[in-house]
Structure 1
Amino acid sequence: MRRLSFPALVALLAILTAVLFASSLLVGPSNIGIGDAFGALFGNEGVTTMVMREIRLPRAILGVCVGATLGLSGAVLQGWLRNPLADAGVLGIGSSAALGAVIAIVSGLAYASPLALPVSALAGAGLAAILVFALAGQGEGGNGLILAGVAVASLTSALTALTLNLSANPFATLEIVFWSMGSLGDRSLDHVYLALPFMAVGWLLLASVGRSLDAMTLGAETASSLGVRLAWVRAIILFATAAAVGGATAVTGVVGFVGLVVPHVLRPLVGSRPSRLMVASALGGATLLTMADLAVRLILPSRDLKLGVVTAIVGAPFFFRLILHERRRSMR
């Protein structure tokens, strides 16, 4: 098949994202027509306006923004580490955010305020970034950062499991398990206002390293000779990923595989330039996550199917295929 040009691919993904965003606004248990649905967003239609603005609109916005965050961060980390198996999980940010959420639930803070849980999860992600950066030191390579991220992820996962084990409240344990599966349900505009600034800052910072990642495809020494400050790029990537993914995880819970699958699928279509893959992966992540959320609402609307379960079912076969591909390539 003839490869699409990069502008055509971006335009196609943008149109698909817009169509899925509009579809997300129209899908729900309330039977609202297309005209009434969009009219209620900009008018005052009583209950219909409340459903559209307070329930469907936040869910649609978060689906696009969180998906874009996961796709973009995955593309950046894979480009920087030059490893197609990398995503935000290697930095321990998701597991640390989960630990913050668990502490909020077990301590009762989550019941005192609806935003206490996402704020605690966001704090956990920020502390993880600081700890990983401190453990990795000031070196320019990525191996130290990966080892530090794995150590932090292992520690926070163990602490989460310990908290679950010692929790005497079965309802809190059940809520922790459900939160860890990821979901966009029951999110309000307050969650959007909390997470979107962190995600936006992360997007801008990650976008600023696009040219540096392009230069790094020529090798670290060549990139340094071209003026790329590798240690500075590493710091930007770490804290930008923590801000963006931490903000996303804080309001949705853990949603896996998006940052791994989307860059892997789109890489053959954009070539070897990480800066182009970043743009395509952001749109591809928004497309995939919004599509998965629509599937959650359409397949089993009465069973509260979790978003992270759907993305794992979709992503696992791609992960297995990638592993087999890498294995065959190493045997040549």
Structure 2
Amino acid sequence: MPAARHRALLPVLLAGLLATATASISLGPVALPGRQVLEAFSGGGDEVTRAIVLELRLPRTLVALLVGAMLGLAGGVLQGYLRNPLAEPSVLGASNSAALGAVGAIYFGIAERHVALLPLLAILFGLLALLLLFGLAGRSESPLALVLAGIAVSTLAGAGISLALNLSSNPFAAMEIMSWLLGSVENRSMEHVWIALPCVAMGLSMLLFDTRALDALSLGEDGARSLGVNLRRTRARLLIGLAVGVGGAVAVSGSIGFIGLIVPHLIRPFTDRSPSAVLMPSMLGGAMLLASADILVRLIPTHSELKLGVVTAFLGVPVFLVHLLRERRLW
């Protein structure tokens, strides 16, 4: 029975992802029946419906799926690699560093020159954080060294963001920075999709390149080394994939936390619990969860639309509490 459940997991997630994407395009302040959506995709229907479907909801849905897939997979990889159930992209400073690049683009007015400059700076700062991480961790192959170096990088990036907010003389720029830090996929265009797509595709492919190395690492560094895993090469590939993929995702969505933390925990009970078995389901589950959260922020009746990062943060709190209660029994 458990084996059958494991085999059914990916088909169920794929079906759920398709249903979520369909709902994301159909639902919103103006609900559109399936017939009108299909007519819009085929070039028919009225002009307003085509604009809603093709220019507003389709890019927003694609960005949510790309970002959710990247964050979900990143969380699964980091929890397996660091052997830490609370690991997510922010642990290594990837999210905060990319956010710092975007905040710098807003603070100095660079983002106003072209829509691609903010994402490019976010990706660049993600790569710079990677170099700093390598420098701080040195040649150590221990996950603990990476975590400690990541905390330093993340703290430094967070301090830079706080400094930009503190020194901002323009209240509108400060409001824009705060709005971006809360995370959202509202008002995204196909330009944002094309900016994020190559980065996310590269990140996903690098993280999924050799999943058996993560299984070997569950035996410890010495055990993995005895099985022929090149720890230095594996670490470099994973960190580059995280920096590029998460940097590209954060660049177009803002800071969205907890997806990388929540999804692997929700997926793991339906697998054999090996690190490699969690990865693909986490990627699909992350895309589905973020797109579902985006549908939720559109449907909740509020004066102004809720930010996506706020909703995912509320979803992440129960996961922390469950893990805390479970660990407390062992103290």
Normalising by structure 2, what TM-score?
0.96
2:165 corresponds to: 164
Instruction: Decide whether aligned partners of structure 1 residues 206 and 2 sit closer, same or farther in structure 2, where only a CA change above 3 A counts.
Output: closer
Structure 1 spans left out of the alignment, 5+ residues: none
Whole-Å separation in 2 of the counterparts to 1:42 and 1:128? 44
CA displacement at 1:302 relative to structure 2: 4.5
**Cα deviation per residue 1:240-274 (whole Å; 9 max; x = unaligned)?**
01111111100000111110111112112212211
Amino acid across the alignment from 2:24:
S
CA displacement at 1:203 relative to structure 2: 0.5
Q: The residue matched to 2:100 in structure 1 has which SS?
A: helix
Amino acid across the alignment from 1:106:
Y
2:308 corresponds to: 307
RMSD after superposition? 1.6
8 Å CA contact retained: 2:66, 2:196: no
**Cα deviation per residue 1:267-314 (whole Å; 9 max; x = unaligned)?**
122122111100111111111111100100001364110000000011
2:11 aligned with 1:5 = no
1:91 corresponds to: 92
Whole-Å separation in 2 of the counterparts to 1:120 and 1:2? 46
Instruction: Decide whether aligned partners of structure 1 residues 274 and 39 sit closer, same or farther in structure 2, where only a CA change above 3 A counts.
Output: same
8 Å CA contact retained: 1:74, 1:263: yes
2:297 aligned with 1:296 = yes
2:322 corresponds to: 321
2:72 aligned with 1:71 = yes
**Cα deviation per residue 1:142-166 (whole Å; 9 max; x = unaligned)?**
1111111110111111111111111
2:217 aligned with 1:221 = no
8 Å CA contact retained: 2:126, 2:247: yes
1:154 corresponds to: 155
CA displacement at 1:49 relative to structure 2: 2.2
Identical counterparts, % of pairs = 46
CA displacement at 1:135 relative to structure 2: 1.5
8 Å CA contact retained: 1:132, 1:148: yes
CA displacement at 1:28 relative to structure 2: 2.6
8 Å CA contact retained: 1:14, 1:283: yes
Normalising by structure 1, what TM-score?
0.95
1:269 corresponds to: 270
Amino acid across the alignment from 1:11:
P
Whole-Å separation in 2 of the counterparts to 1:247 and 1:43? 31
Whole-Å separation in 2 of the counterparts to 1:4 and 1:192? 36
Q: The residue matched to 2:219 in structure 1 has which SS?
A: coil
Instruction: Decide whether aligned partners of structure 1 residues 95 and 106 sit closer, same or farther in structure 2, where only a CA change above 3 A counts.
Output: same
Q: The residue matched to 2:264 in structure 1 has which SS?
A: helix
8 Å CA contact retained: 1:183, 1:253: yes
Amino acid across the alignment from 2:16:
L
1:80 corresponds to: 81
8 Å CA contact retained: 2:78, 2:87: yes
